[in-house]
Amino acid sequence: MSRIENERVCAKGSGGRAPRALAQYRALLAKDVRQELRTREMLTSMGVYALLVLTIYGAALAQVGDKLQVVSFAGGLLWALVIFTSLLGLNRSFGHETESGCLEGILLAPVDRAVIFLAKATSNLLFLLAVEVVVVPLFFLFFLSGAELAATTPLIAVPLLVGTVGVAGVGTLLSTMTIETRGRDVLLAILFIPVAFPLLYACVSATTCAFLGVEGTMGTFWTSCGVALVYDVVMIAAAWGLYEFVVDA
Amino acid sequence: MASAHDGSAAPLAVSARGLVKQFGRRRGLDGVDLEVPSGAFLSIFGPNGAGKTTLLRMLALLSRPTRGELSLLGVDALEEPDSLRSRIGLISHKPMLYGDLTARENLRFFASLYGDVDEARIDELLRLVELDHRCNDCARTFSRGMQQRLSIARALVNDPELVLLDEPYSGLDPHAAELFDELIGRVRDGRTFVMVSHDLEKGFAMCSHALILARGRVVVCAEKERVDAAAFRDLYLATVGTGVS
């Protein structure tokens, strides 16, 4: 302490150098992961919500017995589950940042705003994928265990991955825009669904094609995956570019 | 021009000309001119809504003026904000700490945003704010006073030349406020401080220069030695009576 009383507190070393964006990205990502592993706020809330939705699906489908072929609309059910679970998580993702002004603490530092976006989108992607790793097998177990699955069913991993990347990217941008608003939970959903509609449509279409595995639908599958991929690239590039204006507003 | 600068050769830490901040139809700042010499401690007073926090956020580079010129530490803040960020620190009434990270993890995280993390430096900062014995406890478990002390350490991780204080006494009990004053006193050498406060007595006692802001405009800005304390107090009270901008 005495040294500090007599001298400047810190060596000027790191303060004057332009910090590396990669190191900042790692620090931001590691902080999000450490916090989530410690609190499990996002993972628990998303996991519990997903189980609740699966239970409701189960209760509804139990009433119709064998009259419906679940495989034919499983893609829609699965994506409804993924999207609403994701919205819940995305709403929570900035909770820690706004709680005691931490986002301002980050914005004070010489960090490229696009790096903040990329780190937050990556952590959101990791948490969404972690929930999907648990929820998708449960979906199969509850609703498709008795069904005759097409050989193309494992291909649902492609739209799930491409779709989740887009959801994390667009969701991160929109949740940043809504963090300081009243009724942000509702506002995020209101903004997210129309903006992400092309992605959702493409992903539901591709997932349904993979589930059905009917001859001639694989063209639609790959076209839909391509549309979703283009959406990801365009929207994430736009979010990257717009993030500075959004976060500094 | 409202100036806290006495005209001597001391370089300016803050130089603002005609700062305007427009929020829709309302003006948060309405042509603020300001000069603060390096090493000074400027206290900014004014009623709620006078534009104090708006001005401080601008100095912290968290907000851009709608119009005007701003130079910090000799650098054009509107042209080169990124090069300035590592030279500025902010202590707010919000601690800007992650409650679920330990004191050490918080400092390590914020330090990593400015460059390589120096563990010895983090140890020194923890000792400075007398939290070295609680360095592995989560910030959430700290009292308000302890969080504010940790907040000082956070604001100093980049060794800022310009330190901004936004209502730092908010929520502190008298003992914690006293400790806060003592800590600020220890790190004051060689730094310029700009503090926004409602506490006239404390703010005036700490400062070398004082400013009153009302309705987004500078009412008075002067070196403390050249100001009659009683007259300043009367002017402040009269200004508070004018209400918000």
Residues in A touching B92 (Cβ below 8 Å)? 101, 104
> Which phi-psi region, left, alpha or beta, contains residue A65 (left: φ > 0; alpha: ψ -120 to 50)?
left
Per-residue pLDDT band for B2 (boundaries 50, 70, 90) equals: low
Give the nearest chain A residue to B122 (CA atoms).
A10
> Where does the pLDDT of residue A8 fall: very low under 50, low under 70, confident under 90, or very high at 90 and above?
very low
Higher pLDDT, B6 or A144: A144
> How confident is the model over B64-83, as pLDDT tens digits?
999 999 999 999 999 999 88
The pLDDT, as a whole number, for residue A17 is 43
- The CA-to-CA distance between both ends of chain B, in Å, stands at 20
Give residue B10's pLDDT.
62
Q: How much is the pLDDT for A233?
A: 96
Question: For residue B93, what pLDDT is reported?
Answer: 87
Neighbours of A179 (CB within 10 A): 18
- Is the pTM higher than 0.90? The answer reads no
Note the pLDDT of residue A144. Answer: 84
Closest CA of chain B from A186, distance in Å: 25
Q: Which residues of B touch A114 (CB under 8 A)?
A: none
**What mean pLDDT comes out for the span A179-207?**
89
Indicate the residue of A101, A104, A108 with minimum beta-carbon distance to B85: A108
Pick A100's closest partner by Cβ from B64, B95, B113: B95
Mean pLDDT of B117-134: 92
Q: Are B145 and B173 in contact (CB under 8 A)?
A: yes
Digit-coded pLDDT (tens) for B145-157: 899 999 999 999 9
- State residue B11's pLDDT score: 82
Q: Is B99 helix (H, G, I), strand (E, B) or coil?
A: coil
On the CB side of B45, CA atoms within 13 Å amount to: 28
The predicted structure's pLDDT at residue A247: 83
Look at residue A249 and tell me whether its pLDDT is greater than 70: no
Chain A hits for B112, Cβ within 8 Å = 23-24, 27
pLDDT score of A89 more than 80: yes
* Tokens at A168, concatenated: 């994390």
- Which ipTM was obtained for this model? 0.89
∠ at Cα B170 (B167, B173), nearest 5°?
135
Among the partner residues B83, B101, B190, nearest to A8 by beta-carbon distance: B190
What residue in A sits closest to B88 (Cα-Cα)? A108
Of B90, B100, B116, which has the smallest distance from its Cβ to A35's Cβ?
Answer: B100
The per-residue pLDDT for range A116-157, each reduced to its tens digit, is 999 999 999 999 999 999 999 999 998 888 778 889 999 999
pLDDT of residue B3: 53
Q: Model confidence over B178-235: pLDDT tens digits? A: 888 888 888 888 899 999 988 888 889 889 999 999 989 999 888 988 888 888 888 8
Q: B37 near B6, Cβ under 8 Å? A: yes
Alpha carbon separation from B222 to B10, B18, B69, B208, B211 (Å, rounded): 15, 18, 21, 9, 7
Structure tokens at A240: 């990257």
Token pair in block for residue B224: 């403390």
| 3-class SS string, A60-94 | HHHCCCCCCCHHHHHHHHHHHHHHHHHHHHHHHHC
Neighboring chain B residues of A106 at a CB cutoff of 8 Å: 113
**Beta-ladder partners of B44:** B196, B211
